[in-house]
Amino acid sequence: MATIPITDPVARELFDEMARWPIFDPHSHIDAHRPAARNLDEVLGYHYYTELCHSAGMPADLVDPSLDPRDRARNLAGYLDRIDNTVQFSWLMEIVRTFHGFAPDRITPENIDALYDRAEKTEGLAWDREVWDRSKLEAVFLTNDFDDPLEGFDTERFVPCLRTDDLVLKLHEPSTVDRLRTSTGVDVVDYSSLRQAIGVLFERFVAKGAGACAISLPPDFAPHRSTPKRAVTPIRRALHQMDFRHDEHDEVRRVVFWTIAEFCAEFKLPFDLMIGPIRNVYPTGVSGGRDLFDRRVSLYDYRELFNHFAGVTFPVSTLSPDAGAELVAYSWIFPNVVPNGHWWYSNIPSFIAADLKARLQAVPKVKQIGYYSDAYKLEFVLPKFNMYRKILAEVLADDAIRGQGWTTDRALSLARHVLLDNPRRIFGRGE
């Protein structure tokens, strides 16, 4: 197994203990039917590598989906040295060392083929289990489309999560309504039948042990209370793909979102809010590498939601790194607002460390969800959690043990809250 470099002996001891714990991963994009990577292309295809190499000069067509997987890997290997300073590259090196026994310091066009051979897994199911066991995984949450049948996998391990982006943001697209009708059997034609269909989705997901409902929301979305009455006409226009104005689209987004929050209350599901992304800001980027954000966002826009749904827990992730301090304040005041991990553009060590310190100093320890992997393949869960656990160990060594005179046990107990106890309890697992 790869060694995580930690020079401070106090942090080392904390990390080594945490590394013995299981991993509870409350948000990922893992495919439960194919959780681990079958080959190196499925690792290198993670958008971080393709987008960073593209940003560093690699033409997008070198990783085109139509290419042979091995060729894509070869092509990418020619650019990896340009991004070998990034934390994302360090996850890759930890993966090839830990899971593929790859010894070299770098991945180059010269050694990529040997590595590709090593990483090829024909016994898929056995490999899934091996990665699972070596990572000490306890549970990994999925992000399921609303029409996912949720069948054929162990929902104790791969916990379903109802993703509602399409319903809220793309209700006016024909495929959304079609999928909704097909998957629920409800003839969705107006707000009333739409509501009924969403109820069917919640019933199915909850029956399958869903841990949460989730959505990612753009900066211009402000979830004000909407009355179905006002939304009747816009909803009807959306469902029938009629032309509708921008303010009507807003109305549709708001009322569908509010309806989903009502179901979260009824079914006692946490509602993960992932706030900030704007899709397709860089349309000619590689797949998965086209979204960015506008940093001018505030949780103040969410006050009505947090007040109205006092009984719903909202694990909140914010995309813009400079929005992290505001989330600390809102989590400190609202009982139902919970800071959730460190997401995407905020998921690099310097931003994590700053956010983590503030959360540990000002948010009740029972409310913090330390980390989630956001991974697409199982191999990424371990290195990403190790990055977080290392930072957590270093912050606790500095701020709690040396800074406040805490014992190692007290520091570890806090770590356990944010890594295990809280996510298990908040997402209805164990305890």
State the minimum distance, in angstroms, from the CB of residue 361 to a copy of itself.
Answer: 5
CB-based contacts of 362, cutoff 8 Å, min separation 6: 328, 329, 332
Structure token digits, residue 388: 């977080």
| Interaction residues for a copy of itself, span 148-167 (CB under 8 A) | none
State the minimum distance, in angstroms, from the CB of residue 3 to a copy of itself.
Answer: 8
Q: Where are the alpha helices (DSSP H) in 146-280?
A: 165-169, 174-184, 191-207, 228-239, 246-267
Whose Cβ is closer to a copy of itself: residue 144's or residue 320's? Answer: 320
For a copy of itself, the binding residue among 331, 340, 373, 386 (CB under 8 A) is 331
The reply to whether 285 sits near a copy of itself by the rule CB under 8 A is yes
The reply to whether 55 sits near a copy of itself by the rule CB under 8 A is yes
The reply to whether 267 sits near a copy of itself by the rule CB under 8 A is no
State the minimum distance, in angstroms, from the CB of residue 206 to a copy of itself.
Answer: 23
| Interaction residues for a copy of itself, span 335-354 (CB under 8 A) | 335, 345, 348-351, 354
State the minimum distance, in angstroms, from the CB of residue 299 to a copy of itself.
Answer: 8
State the minimum distance, in angstroms, from the CB of residue 357 to a copy of itself.
Answer: 4
Q: Are strands 158-159 and 137-141 parallel, antiparallel or unpaired?
A: parallel
Token look-up 């607002």 returns 337
DSSP string, 22-56: -EEE------TTS-S-SSHHHHHTSHHHHHHHHHT
H-helix or E-strand containing 306? helix 303-308
SS3 label, residue 8: coil
State the minimum distance, in angstroms, from the CB of residue 55 to a copy of itself.
Answer: 5
For the chain, the first-to-last Cα distance in angstroms comes to: 31
Count CB atoms within 10 A of the CB of residue 230: 12
For a copy of itself, the binding residue among 102, 330, 380, 385 (CB under 8 A) is 330
State the minimum distance, in angstroms, from the CB of residue 85 to a copy of itself.
Answer: 4
For a copy of itself, the binding residue among 114, 125, 242, 281 (CB under 8 A) is 281
The reply to whether 282 sits near a copy of itself by the rule CB under 8 A is yes
The reply to whether 310 sits near a copy of itself by the rule CB under 8 A is yes
Count CB atoms within 10 A of the CB of residue 236: 16
The reply to whether 363 sits near a copy of itself by the rule CB under 8 A is yes
Whose Cβ is closer to a copy of itself: residue 237's or residue 390's? Answer: 390
Q: Could you give the CA distance from residue 186 to residue 146 in angstroms, rounded to a whole number?
A: 14
Candidate segments 126-134, 156-164, 172-180, 293-301, binder of a copy of itself by CB under 8 A = 293-301
The reply to whether 403 sits near a copy of itself by the rule CB under 8 A is yes
Q: How many residues bind a copy of itself (CB under 8 A)?
A: 75
The reply to whether 362 sits near a copy of itself by the rule CB under 8 A is yes
Give the dihedral sign, CA 291/295/300/301: negative
Whose Cβ is closer to a copy of itself: residue 223's or residue 285's? Answer: 285
| Interaction residues for a copy of itself, span 187-206 (CB under 8 A) | none
SS3 label, residue 245: coil
| Interaction residues for a copy of itself, span 377-396 (CB under 8 A) | none
The reply to whether 13 sits near a copy of itself by the rule CB under 8 A is no
DSSP class of 430: -
The reply to whether 268 sits near a copy of itself by the rule CB under 8 A is no
For a copy of itself, the binding residue among 290, 416, 424, 428 (CB under 8 A) is 290
- Between 87-100 and 124-134, two packed helices, what is the crossing angle to 10 degrees? 110
DSSP string, 370-429: ------SSGGGHHHHHHHHHHHHHHHIIIIIIIHH---HHHHHHHHHIIIIIHHHHHTT-
Task: Give the x-and-dash track for 62-91 against a copy of itself (CB under 8 A).
Answer: --------------------xxxxxxx-x-
State the minimum distance, in angstroms, from the CB of residue 83 to a copy of itself.
Answer: 5
**In the sheet where 337-339 sits, what is the strand order?**
161-163, 212-217, 271-275, 314-318, 337-339
Q: Could you give the CA distance from residue 301 to residue 322 in angstroms, rounded to a whole number?
A: 16
The reply to whether 328 sits near a copy of itself by the rule CB under 8 A is yes
For a copy of itself, the binding residue among 108, 182, 287, 361 (CB under 8 A) is 361
For a copy of itself, the binding residue among 19, 189, 222, 329 (CB under 8 A) is 329
